[in-house]
C-alpha cells in the first residue's frame, strides 16, 4: 500500500529536510484540501504526522487532525507525540485507523505492551527512526544507543506487527530510500511488516522497494517536488 504523507506544523502541511525543524518548507496551507485531493485522485491511505506534537509530547494540531478525519474517508495512520494510553484512545475514538508510537516505544515500552493488549495490534504501529541505524527520539532531536534491530525485536515480542522505518538522513532529501537497510530488516523479521519511509524520489524507488519485499511505502516530498505523480502511484499499486 502507498501512503502519501502529510506532516503538520502550525496547522499547515510542511516538509522537513533530514528531520531539521529549521529546514521547513510549506507544502500546503490547507491540509484538509490536500487530503481531499489525495482521496479524489483515487488513493485510499494517508500517513499523518503532528510535528509539533512530536516535539512537545502532546497533541498540538488536534483541530486539523479532527477535521481531516471528518472530511475524508481515507485510512489514516497518525503519529507525533503519542505517549499515553489516553492519547491513543482519544485518536482512535476520533476514527483514526491506527496510531504510531515513536519515542515512547523506547522510553516507555510498557505503553506499547498495554496499547496492543487494549486496542489490538492492527491499531498500533511503532515508528523506528534514526541515523546510522541508531534510534532517535523526541521528534528526532535526541539520539540513543539502541539499534533498529533491537527495538523491532523487543516490540515484536509484545505483539507489534507493523513498523515504520525511517532513515532520517534520507528523509526529505529525494536521495533514494535505504533499500539495503529496509530489505535486511524485513528478512531479519519476516513475520513483521516493515513500512518504508524516507528518501523516495521516483517510481523506480518504489518498484525497487517492492522487489526487495517491502509492501507498504510512505511517499512524502516526492509527490510535491519530485518525480512521483498520483497517477503513477495508482499504476504501481496494481
Active site residues: 7, 129
What the block records as the C-alpha cell of 13 is 502541511
Q: What is the longest distance spanned by two Cα atoms in the chain? A: 43
Alpha helices by DSSP H, 132-175: 148-156
Alpha helices by DSSP H, the chain: 31-40, 51-56, 62-71, 85-94, 103-107, 109-119, 148-156, 179-188, 203-211, 222-225, 230-236
| Dihedral over Cα of 211, 208, 196, 181: its sign | positive
Rounded to 10°, the helix 179-188/203-211 angle is 30
* Per-position b or e across 110-139, b if 16+ CB within 10 A of its CB: ebbeebbeebeeebbbbbbbbbebebbbbb
Strand partners, 128: 165
Amino acid at each position: 500500500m502507498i501512503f502519501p504523507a502529510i506532516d503538520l506544523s502550525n496547522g499547515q502541511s510542511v516538509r522537513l529536510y533530514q528531520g531539521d525543524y529549521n529546514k521547513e518548507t510549506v507544502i500546503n496551507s490547507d491540509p484538509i484540501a490536500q487530503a481531499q485531493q489525495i482521496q479524489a485522485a483515487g488513493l485510499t491511505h494517508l500517513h499523518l504526522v503532528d510535528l509539533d506534537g512530536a516535539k512537545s509530547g502532546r497533541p498540538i494540531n488536534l483541530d486539523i487532525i479532527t477535521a481531516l478525519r471528518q472530511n475524508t474517508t481515507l485510512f489514516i495512520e497518525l503519529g507525533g507525540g503519542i505517549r499515553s494510553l489516553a492519547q491513543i484512545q482519544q485518536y482512535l475514538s476520533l476514527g483514526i485507523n491506527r496510531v504510531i508510537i515513536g519515542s515512547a516505544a523506547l522510553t516507555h515500552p510498557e505503553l506499547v505492551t498495554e496499547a496492543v493488549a487494549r486496542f489490538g495490534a492492527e491499531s498500533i504501529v511503532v515508528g523506528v527512526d534514526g541515523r546510522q541505524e541508531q534510534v532517535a527520539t523526541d521528534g528526532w532531536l535526541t539520539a540513543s544507543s539502541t539499534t533498529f534491530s533491537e527495538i523491532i525485536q523487543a516490540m515484536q515480542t509484545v505483539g507489534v506487527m507493523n513498523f515504520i522505518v525511517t532513515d532520517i538522513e534520507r528523509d526529505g532529501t529525494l536521495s533514494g530510500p535505504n533499500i539495503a537497510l529496509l530489505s535486511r530488516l524485513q528478512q531479519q523479521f519476516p513475520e513483521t511488516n516493515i513500512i518504508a519511509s524516507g528518501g523516495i524520489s521516483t517510481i523506480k524507488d518504489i518498484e525497487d522497494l517492492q522487489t526487495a519485499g517491502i509492501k507498504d511505502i510512505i511517499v512524502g516530498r516526492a509527490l510535491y517536488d519530485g518525480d512521483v505523480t498520483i497517477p503513477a502511484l495508482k499504476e504501481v499499486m496494481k
